[in-house]
Structure 1
Amino acid sequence: MARRGGNGATVPPRDVPFRDTGPQGHRARMRTRVLTAGAASLADYEIVEMLLFYGIPRRDTKPMAKALINRFGSLAALLSASSDALHGAGLTDGTALPLMLPACAAACLSRQEPVTRAHVGDWDAVMTYCDIMLADAPPGQLRILFLDSGNHVIADEPLPATLDGGELDALQRHILLRALDVHATAFVGVRIASSWPPSPGQIDRDTVLMQAISHHAQTLSLTVQDHLLLGRGRWISLRQERRL
């Protein structure tokens, strides 16, 4: 409860700390700044200060952050420093590790190749894709080309061997769930025929599977564009055969 001083002014209780004071309140404000204004709102030493939060949980990290930047000369030099250099500056493993993570993440990102999705908007493009990308696919394999609304290949996946040839319901469920997982709007089935021409039984089994999937796909706003059987430079399209 508040008390009154000698001049009648209200004096806060001595045993109640001010709200949001100390390192924890400062850290909360720093995090809020990053979330609302982005990391560009931080000075170089403040970035280091925040990285040190994870190695120093209960102490003001600003003095150390400024000292480290002064020692190494810049933020970039500090964040690219070796483990030995950081230890030489007096840091423990626990405080050095957070400062090494940005360089590790940057190295991983630099190795990522830009994603270029193949466009299969017409019959020739589909066949060219299959000739190039599926040339080494094993005979008998069933693959699904998942497409976005612009007919770009989002994912090209073989059906697990444990499912292919199994129960129809399990096959349907797997393909439809994968289509939803990758946010596909359409897909093309591709069977690498074990022999050519493929057996009538193989054609019939694939037809039954794709007809069943096509029926259920409509309720999910998915389209089965076609199903191809490929082998020896030849192909059969279930859609052109009027089986889809």
Structure 2
Amino acid sequence: MPDKAEGFSDAGRGLTSEGHRQRLRNRFVQAGADGLADYELLELLLFRSIPRRDTKPIAKRLVTRFGSFAEVLSAPAPRLLEVEGVGPGVVQDLKLVHAAVQRFARGQVAKKPVLSSWNEVIDYCRAAMAFADREQFKILFLDKKNALIADEVQQTGTVDHTPVYPREIVKRALELSASAIILVHNHPSGDPTPSRADIQMTRQIIDIAAPLGITIHDHIIVGRQGHASFRALKLMD
């Protein structure tokens, strides 16, 4: 049953026609997601959440508010609920899709050695963290064959800072018998450029891990504008 915020009567509410819905479904079948604008893809999703109301205005409000389809899925539930026409049922469905995207991306990473599937690693990190509104520090723990042992968020901070404890990271790697790790964190500002503090912290972790035989393969920063690799930027040599 639709949420209270979504349960409008048909009269005077711009009830979307079944013809419009079917045309949009047909376009998706024929052209795929790339053939639809972000708000149209959201419309398709909202068809299932709000079966008897015109979902185009809601989809457009969501994209206007958060910026893109991906950012809508990643937005915190309380902020989604601030958008007119969005109730708990819509939020639950959006979060379900977001969880499915993350689970799929993680599965792609887990299937093969991480260093031979670098694009999948980046896709997974971006899906998990790029659009979050607070900084998170994630660690990918790898075995001797560079297969993923564990994937853990060590800390969650504020909009521009996450406390990181290098000794705790290395201690956890030892507990998991990890031979290597990849450090990942996000910049909610959108700009993935490493800060001086990011560089210093990475060096501290490398200095503690190296004597214990633990390799730091890379430190990846993700944001809405892309990603930055410390290895590619030669910040780990």
Q: Report the TM-score when normalising by structure 1.
A: 0.45
Larger radius of gyration: 1
Q: Report the TM-score when normalising by structure 2.
A: 0.46
Query: Which structure is richer in relative contact order (CA contacts within 8 A, separation 6 or more)?
Result: 2
